[in-house]
Structures are given as C-alpha cells and as structure tokens.
Homo-oligomer: A and B are copies of this chain.
Amino acid sequence: MSQNVYQPHNHSHCVANALSQAQSLCHDKGARLTKVRQRVLELIWQSHKPVGAYELLPALANDGFNSAPPTVYRALDFLLDLGLVHRLHSLNAYVGCNHPGANHPVCFFICEHCGQAQELPNDKLNALTRQVEQVLGVQVHHQLTELTGLCPSCQPASGETTANDHA
C-alpha cells in the first residue's frame, strides 16, 4: 500500500489500479467518469511526474477531443473534487492520487531533478495540524504540504552506478 515511486515498479499496475478505483468511486458516488475525464486521468497517470493543465491539451486534441482550456480545467476540477488527483501548488501541476476517496490530508515529496512526486500518508502531519490548532485556537479545514529535494536516484551517488540502469 505504501509504495515508493522512486523504486522500480510495474507502472502499468499504478495506472490500472488508478482507473479501477476511479470507476468504482464514481459508481459509488453517482458521478460520471466521461471519456474526457477518464482520458485526462489516464494522461495524468502516465507518470509520477506532475503535469501542467496546458500540457494535457495537445494530447486531448490528438485524441479527437476539444482542446481548449475549459475542457481540461473542468475535467481537472471533477477529478480534484472526487480526490482522484491532487494539485501541487508549488508547480501549478496535477498528479494522480494513490488512495482516492477520502478527503485526506496530503503530504508530497517532489524530486527537483527528475520531477517525480510521491504522496505520503504521514502521521506527523496530523500532529502538526493539532499543534497549530491548539497554539492558535484555530480550526484547520485544508492543508497543503509540499517538500522538495532529491530522491534516492537523483542524489549524487557515493558509488558510480546509475540507480535506474538495471530497472
């Protein structure tokens, strides 16, 4: 469940799993996973690198869909509402959620070299939120945590091997 996108893995499983979860979630909530919406979700899941809204337009046009900004933004809003994707504010980009359904607090790590983003369930995050609520006497409704740095594969290696060569 707690996968690590920086390690070699069968990414087609990620995609298949995401689509499957999206379909059942939409069915449960009576939401319609239309062709445009499903295609946008697929495009976002092509990698773990967050993708900008305008990057999706050419691909949609190529698939015969309309390719004006509102098309993709509406699809993104739909997917965001259902928690199927997240928006990374530090990048203005969108990435698939690997455990959709819950309106869960989100913590992302983003590699500043390869660009891949990993979502983490993090118990420290809830501790942080509770602390802020206590110290300030506030009610926290939403939260946004994005950490940036170098993933294992992109750190200057102690040895000389390139970490992904044998993948």
Residues of A participating in the B interface, judged by any CB pair closer than 8 Å: 4, 6, 89-90, 107, 109, 111-112, 118, 120, 122, 124-125, 127-129, 131-132, 135-152, 155
Are the CB atoms of A136 and B120 closer together than 8 Å? yes
Q: Once bound together, how far apart are the Cα atoms of A125 and B143, in whole Å?
A: 13
Q: Which 4 A-B pairs have the closest CB atoms?
A: A124-B128, A89-B89, A140-B149, A141-B149
A122 touches B128 (CB 8 A): yes
- Determine which residue in A118, A143, A147, A151 has the highest number of CB atoms from chain B within 10 A of its CB, and name it: A147
Identify which of A127, A136, A140, A141 gathers the most chain B CB atoms within 10 Å of its CB.
Answer: A136
Contact of A139 among B132, B139, B149 (CB under 8 A): B149
> What secondary structure prevails in chain A residues at the interface with B?
mixed
Residue of chain B at shortest CB distance from A92? B89
Question: 25 A-B contacts, Cβ less than 8 Å apart?
Answer: A4-B136, A6-B138, A89-B90, A89-B146, A90-B144, A109-B132, A112-B141, A122-B128, A124-B127, A124-B131, A125-B128, A128-B145, A136-B152, A137-B151, A138-B150, A138-B152, A138-B155, A140-B148, A140-B149, A141-B148, A142-B148, A143-B148, A144-B146, A144-B147, A145-B145
